[in-house]
Amino acid sequence: MSTSANTPPPCITLLTDFGTQDSYVGILKGVIAGICPQAVVIDLTHEIPPQDIAAARFNLLMAYRYFPAHTIHLVVVDPGVGSARRAIALETPLGRFVAPDNGVLSGVLADFRPEEMAGVSLDRPEWWRTDAPSATFHGRDIFAPGAAHWATGVPLQQLGSAVAIADFTPFPLKPYTRTAAEIQGSIQYGDRFGNLITTIPGTAITHRTQSVWIGDRAIPCHRTYGDVLPGQPLALIGSHGWLEIAVNQGSAREQLNLGVGDEVWVRE
């Protein structure tokens, strides 16, 4: 396939737990370059902690809407490699996805109505790199080839057998709850700055919200980091759209000694 001057080139993002010490990520890109040389390949991150589906799920969810809708997001965080878990491809109105069926796409799946999406299992060896894929590197042998062939224009339905949206594996992330008196949620991700992102969407916060509670400690709500003194904690609606706990010019994770799963409450 060739790219005409007026069509944007295919775009593929990569999200893995491979790290960047070895050439594993480069190998994925080599396989893609062999199948779809005109693709623009963009790294989301490769520093997902090994096999941490929750972190991969969150980073994908935070990023995918900022890409053109034709983008293919390839996720390889795959504790079940070599087992019977499916390799899947998912089409949505705001992005296309290739990943193991282990819950990593559950955040994206919740963003659309089932009838807006379509999914297949990448179960056809004709689109794999080899008839005899490695037992330990499906990223190279199944996922990257699937994404690259999709990027060249192969229709989704030809990539594999249909999978009903309801049959995709969910991820056990406890949803936030709301009563008349309070909203209860938890921390779902800590970023490199030590900011702690909760499961509570910014839309649940009103102008009357004054504090977020962690145990018996109240964290004041503000608009941006600089609204408190350096070293002081605050709660704010982060750029990703969720309620976030931060410390101005510091690390909330270290200073407040909190981590993924810890509970937070919003009371007016």
Residues ≥6 apart with Cβ < 8 Å to 215: none
- What is the footprint of a second copy within residues 120-139 (CB under 8 A)? 134-137
User: Does residue 42 bind a second copy (CB under 8 A)?
Assistant: yes
Asked whether 26 and 33 are in contact (CB, 8 A), the reply is no
By CB under 8 A, residue 38 contacts a second copy: yes
Restricted to residues 210-229, the positions that interact with a second copy (CB under 8 A) are 223-226
- Per CB under 8 A, contacts with a second copy among 89-118 are none
29 is a site residue for a second copy (CB under 8 A): yes
Tell me the chain's radius of gyration from C-alpha atoms.
20
Distances 134 to 81, 83, 129, 142 between C-alpha atoms, Å: 9, 12, 10, 9
Q: Select from 246, 255, 239 the least CA-distant residue to 212.
A: 246
In Å, how far are 135, 191, 203, 256, 265 from 238, measured between CA atoms? 40, 12, 11, 18, 17
Q: Which is nearer to a second copy, 81 or 183 (CB)?
A: 81
169 in contact with a second copy (CB under 8 A): no
74 binds a second copy (CB under 8 A): no
Query: Site residues for a second copy, window 171-200 (CB under 8 A)?
Result: 191-193
Q: Any bridge partners for residue 250, and if so which? A: 247
Residue 43 found at the interface with a second copy (CB under 8 A): yes
Residue with tokens 């499906």: 138
What is the binding site for a second copy (CB under 8 A)?
2-6, 8-9, 11, 13, 15, 18-27, 29-31, 33-34, 37-38, 40-47, 50-51, 59-60, 62-64, 66-68, 71, 79-83, 134-137, 140-141, 191-193, 223-226, 236, 238-239, 249
